[in-house]
Amino acid sequence: MKIAVLPGDGIGTEIVAEAIRVLDALELDFEMETALVGGAAYDAHGHPLPEATLKLAKEADAVLFGAVGDWKYDKLERQFRPEQAILGLRKNLGLFANFRPAICYEQLVGASSLKPELISGLDILIIRELTGDIYFGQPRGRRTAVDGHFPGAEEAFDTMRYSRPEVERIARVAFEAARKRSKRVTSVDKANVLETFQFWKDIVTEVGKEYPDVALDHMYVDNAAMQLVKEPKKFDVVVTGNMFGDILSDEAAMLTGSIGMLPSASLNASSQGLYEPSHGSAPDIAGKGVANPLATILSAAMMLRFSLQQPEAADRIESAVKSVLASGLRTGDIWSEGTKRVGTREMGDAVVAAI
């Protein structure tokens, strides 16, 4: 088994280093190889996703990814910007199923913007389709409008699209995941306005018939954005498209108040996966040794479970993280009165010690 390690930019190197120490502590049998990605790769090789990095990622069983991006690349042409690396990896590896848990750890309830009773015990799994929709749909570009409100004017456009097999496979992923949880799926769409999402809704409904033991309901995306704020615990598994999933998974993550704790997994049809924290590269605190490595460490646990068939090792990491939280250690982002503030390295040490 081989893991491609892509630390990326900003706090990426620091947090991935801790995840690797945790993996090492488990003394499992796999190979790891590191490569540059994002702005770091652009600086060294002139491209955010160099051929060698892509090749390594494709050949590996799993990719452990830190984060990419920094303000200093903002002025580059889009194709050279760090985030193109992540889009390129998703597309080239066919990582269509993105798992974004939004979990509120009991000790961190106070970190949330929400009142404790609304957020305590939250455990949502957002499943976002990740290789289709308006993210990749062609045609797209700029042109002269031939119709619409201002024919003859300059316009820009993108294409939203989903094909039947794309919706079927992500729907199955969601129903299967729900079977292992509380057997409820909410499919989020905008069927009242978009052809694409009427189609989505129809197909999810059809696939749902194969899972009579799972309760399916449908919700418009605007309503979902509201219900997440109003009563987040009403949700269990949420399945949606790439664009809506981008927005709702971040909203849900922020509801917990502890986005520094939330891992993510992006899988393809052969369980090859990319694992990364839900948060970004945080260039403002990069290099200071204060970033929270737990989301990356928990991403490594997801990797062990989903791509490397090592569920016991995954459990060991997750238990270690819980016991470290229970012992009162906190990085700055989740610190509160009465707990002990530690840096990235000390937090990694504590997880290693707990393993």
Ligand X SMILES: CC(C)[C@H](C(=O)O)[C@@H](O)C(=O)O
Using CB under 8 A, list all residues that contact a second copy: 78, 81, 83, 87, 94, 113-115, 118, 131-132, 134-138, 140-142, 145, 147-150, 153-166, 190, 192-196, 198-200, 221-223, 225-230, 243-244, 246-251, 253-255, 257, 259
159 binds, among ligand X, a second copy, none (CB under 5 to 8 A by kind): a second copy
Closest to ligand X by CB, 86 or 334: 86
Residue 322 annotated in active site: no
Kindly name the residue from 24, 217, 222, 315 that is annotated as catalytic. Answer: 222
Closest to ligand X by CB, 145 or 225: 225
25 binds, among ligand X, a second copy, none (CB under 5 to 8 A by kind): none
- Residues of 58-88 as b/e, b for ≥16 C-beta within 10 angstroms? eebbbbbbbbbbbeebeeeeeeebbbbbbbb
Closest to a second copy by CB, 89 or 352: 89
- Residues of 255-287 as b/e, b for ≥16 C-beta within 10 angstroms? bbbbbbbbbbbbbbeeebbbbbbbbbbbbebbe
Q: Smallest distance, Å, CB 142 to ligand X?
A: 20
Residue 305: Cβ within 10 Å count: 20
Kindly name the residue from 158, 202, 246, 349 that is annotated as catalytic. Answer: 246
User: Cα separation of 262 and 77, whole Å?
Assistant: 31
The phi and psi torsions of 319 (rounded to 5 degrees) equal -65, -40
Q: Smallest distance, Å, CB 262 to ligand X?
A: 12
CB nearest ligand X: which residue?
83
Kindly name the residue from 123, 158, 202, 250 that is annotated as catalytic. Answer: 250
| CA quadruple 133, 137, 143, 148: dihedral, nearest 10 | -40
User: Cα separation of 75 and 103, whole Å?
Assistant: 35
Distance (Å) of CA 302 to CA 1, 109, 245, 299, 306:
15, 23, 19, 5, 6
Closest to ligand X by CB, 145 or 191: 191
Closest to ligand X by CB, 246 or 346: 246
346 binds, among a second copy, ligand X, none (CB under 5 to 8 A by kind): none
Residue 349 annotated in active site: no
80 binds, among a second copy, ligand X, none (CB under 5 to 8 A by kind): none
213 binds, among ligand X, a second copy, none (CB under 5 to 8 A by kind): none
Q: Smallest distance, Å, CB 327 to a second copy?
A: 26
Tokens of 329: 């250690």
Closest to ligand X by CB, 86 or 301: 86
Q: Smallest distance, Å, CB 222 to ligand X?
A: 5
86 binds, among a second copy, ligand X, none (CB under 5 to 8 A by kind): ligand X
User: Cα separation of 57 and 305, whole Å?
Assistant: 18
The number of CA neighbours under 13 Å toward the Cβ of 70 is 19
Distance (Å) of CA 195 to CA 122, 140, 171, 198, 227:
33, 18, 18, 5, 24
Give strand ranges (E) for 180-262.
184-189, 215-220, 237-240
330 binds, among ligand X, a second copy, none (CB under 5 to 8 A by kind): none
Q: Smallest distance, Å, CB 51 to a second copy?
A: 22
Tokens of 195: 């052809």
Q: Which residues bind ligand X (CB under 6 A)?
A: 83, 86-87, 192-193, 222, 246
Residue 43 annotated in active site: no
Kindly name the residue from 135, 183, 233, 322 that is annotated as catalytic. Answer: 135
Distance (Å) of CA 254 to CA 103, 239, 340:
10, 18, 23
Q: Is 329 helix (H, G, I), strand (E, B) or coil?
A: strand
User: Cα separation of 39 and 35, whole Å?
Assistant: 12
Q: Smallest distance, Å, CB 177 to a second copy?
A: 21
Residue 123 annotated in active site: no
Q: Smallest distance, Å, CB 289 to ligand X?
A: 25
Catalytic residues: 135, 190, 222, 246, 250
